[in-house]
Structure 1
Amino acid sequence: MLGGGKMKGGDAVSGGGSSNISPMVSFLLGAAVATVCVLFFMSASPGRSLVDVAAWSHNNGTAAQHHHHLRSVADDADAARNLSVVVAAPAPAPVQASPYGDLEEVLARAATADRTVIMTQINAAWTKPGSLLDLFFESFRTGEGGVARLLDHLVIVTMDPAAYAGCQLVHPHCYFLRTTGVDYRGEKFFMSKDYLEMMWGRNKFQQTILQLGYNFLFTDVDVMWFRDPFKHISMGADIAISSDVFMGDPYSLGNFPNGGFLFVRSCNKTIEFYRHWQAGRYRFFGKHEQDVFNLIKHDMTDRLGVAIQFLDTTYISGFCQLSRDLNKICTLHANCCVGLGAKLHDLRNVLDVWRNYTAAPVPDKRAGKFQWKVPGICIH
């Protein structure tokens, strides 16, 4: 009996007292087992977050509220991480290459405060030692009135790689105008097919300069610069062009132009003028740009209101109509002269006379004792 009672007592402890103790013990044991399982699960999967715990117990009392809170915290953390990635690594903006290469950079370096540049154009034949580019630079260096400072604003446009390399050795503002279809390295004879291509290509390039918002004074490399020519360009002129033959009135369209020395202000009128000028290449087929200018000048001044000044050959001179007053002359162009050899011969003589003139006492200069060596091959 006693033995049997102990057995029942054991039953009572494990079964008969369940009404007071078993539910709580069961709950505690169940919770402990669950916690161990969760911890084991999390330790086995470290990537899991607390939201997984909340999701597992969302039916227990306020667990749903904790689940919602923990999920919000996790979402905010994920959003922050995603945002930091976006901010830290923005997509690079596409780089747009200029269609003109480094032209705008060269122009900006060379331009005056009012966005004016001086330009000349050369090929390899004109850059050899002792050729036209050397004479061109020498005229600036021996000039009067600080004309040499204008070299700071000179852009040399080169037509072939050899000319570009040669330019870079002697000048800071060089631009390589890349063209197709013509070999520009050699001398181009007047009115040849390659000569016309070169002249019309130059004209188109000048239009580009205007469209970029720069005024320009274009000078052929066979123009000798002795004094500052800007003093003789009217502020009211949209275009100022040198004259093969000057008739006396700078605003008369009866003057004969020469495009080898040309100043143009950048504005809508002059850009439109250049568009019509370019169209004239096909309208007057076989003409070079200087002849077409002469043919359209009346129509363009009437239609566009462009003010054209023809420069007085007393100051802006050339072999066509030679100024003999060395006290007034600013530039001298080897125009009306065909062939590189002839130009070189006569311009060397011009510089010889000019050097003697600048070295002379002021009274001798004023007395007009110095004259050009004439006749030459072209100069007369």
Structure 2
Amino acid sequence: MVDESHARPGSLLEVLLQSFKSGQDTQRFLNHLVIITMDPQAFEYCRFLHPHCIHPSTFEPYFSTKRQSITSPDHSVFSWRRNNVLIDVIELGYNIIFTDTDVLWLRSPLENFDPSYELSISCNFSSDGERTYSMEGGIFFMKANAAALEFLKHWKLSMFLYLRPNAEESLCETITQNVDIADAYGVRVHHIDRNQFGGFCQLNNDMFETVYTIHANCCDDLTSKVHDMTIVLDDWIRFRKRVKNNNATEKMTLRWPQKCIG
């Protein structure tokens, strides 16, 4: 899901699509990648880059307000729009791999998703100084069945009944805080090793050797995200060339993050 700030020249959408083209066994996903645009400007630019863009009018009830940045007051509105879309797609009977725009796809993640579970997800942890939150790693798989659908509907209903902190917009936090409810609906959760789905919050020099995706988390500024994600993608391309030339044993020092710090 993208808005104008995510889909314009030099934006996150360009880097995301390039990662699919440069990843290992990821190009094939492009024909299955549907991008939902939140405003007419995003739609026009998305259509220039990718064949499968959905016009904002398709989801008119959800997209009446644009989200300007990930730290804006509209962030919660954006998250609930996403959940409405999940409900619609699950009702149509389609399994979903949902990816945030600030995720680089380096390898096919399919082997990490267990189709016998309603949800396969990698969760990271962050703290605001008072409590620790369980946050999504930028990608998850959801199975289209009655259990998943009813849980999503319960989650949507609870938004209107109870005030929630922003962290509970996270699917990871929702599952963590509602284990009994998930069990009651029969929602089985496969927690993927978070070391397989990397991010700027948890860095190590062996990431290219082990991870399937890299999430530009711990970074609020969109310009900084694009800058550092571009460096990651350039380094990934160099790493793949080294592997091809049998020079993979030569370690690559991380050049990132540079602007996504602090």
SS in 2 for 1:199: helix
Length-normalised TM-score, structure 2: 0.86
TM-score when scaled to structure 1?
0.60
- Does residue 170 of structure 1 match 2:170? no
Give 1:198 deviation, angstroms. Answer: 1.1
Is 1:364 the counterpart of 2:243? The answer is no
Q: CA deviation at 1:230?
A: 0.8
Q: Distance in 2 between matches of 1:220 and 1:181?
A: 17
2:31 equivalent in structure 1: 152
1:311 paired to 2:192: yes
For 1:50-65, list aligned pairs within 5 A: none
Shift of 1:231: 1.0
Q: Structure 2: which amino acid aligns with 1:173?
A: H
Amino acid at match of 2:170: Q
Tell me what 1:263 maps to.
Answer: 141
Question: Partner residue of 1:377?
Answer: 259
Residues 180 and 205 of structure 1, relative CA distance in 2, 3 Å threshold = closer
Do 1:313 and 1:322's aligned partners in 2 also have CA atoms closer than 8 Å?
no
Q: CA offset at residue 376 of structure 1?
A: 2.3
Shift in CA distance, 305/317, structure 1 to aligned 2, threshold 3 Å = same
Superposition deviation, residue 377 in structure 1: 2.8
CA distance change for structure 1 residues 179 and 162 in 2, over 3 Å: closer, same or farther?
Answer: farther
SS in 1 for 2:34: strand
1:240 is paired with a residue whose SS is: strand
Partner residue, 1:351: 233
Distance 1:242 1:255, change over 3 A: farther
Q: Which has the larger radius of gyration?
A: 1
Instruction: Tell me the SS of whatever aligns to 1:364.
Output: coil
CA contact (8 A) 2:62 2:84 kept: no
Match of 2:120, SS state, is: strand
CA, structure 1 residues 322+280, in 2 after alignment: closer, same or farther (shift >3 Å)?
A: farther
State the number of aligned residues: 249
The residue correspondences of 1:76-91 to structure 2 (distance < 5 A) are none
In the alignment, the residues of structure 1 paired with residue 137 and residue 84 of structure 2 have an alpha-carbon distance, to the nearest angstrom, of 13
Distance 1:181 1:163 in 2: 12
- Among 98, 111, 133, the alignment partner of 1:231 is 111
Q: Deviation at 1:183?
A: 3.5
Q: Per the alignment, do residues 312 and 259 of structure 1 end up closer, same or farther by CA in structure 2, a change over 3 Å counting? A: closer
- What code does the residue aligned with 2:9 have? P
User: 2:179 — aligned with what?
Assistant: 298
Q: 1:370, 1:282 → 2: CA distance?
A: 49
**1:297 CA drift (Å):** 3.4
Deviations 1:310-369 (A, max 9, x none): 22222222122235331221111112211212211221221121121112144322x251
What percent identity do the matched residue pairs reach? 32
8 Å contact kept, 1:216–1:263 = yes
| Equivalent-residue separation in structure 2 for 1:313 and 1:274 (angstroms) | 23
Which of residues 172, 194, 198 in structure 1 aligns to 2:78? 198
- Asked whether the equivalents of residues 147 and 187 of structure 2 are also in contact (C-alpha less than 8 Å), the reply is yes
CA gap of 1:240–1:294, structure 2 versus 1, over 3 A, is same
In 2, distance between residues paired with 1:355 and 1:160?
Answer: 33
Distance 1:220 1:238 in 2: 19
Structure 2 gaps, min length 5? 127-131
1:320-339 correspondence to structure 2 within 5 Å: 320-322=201-203, 324-339=206-221
Q: Tell me how far apart the structure 2 counterparts of residues 205 and 259 of structure 1 sit (CA, whole Å).
A: 19
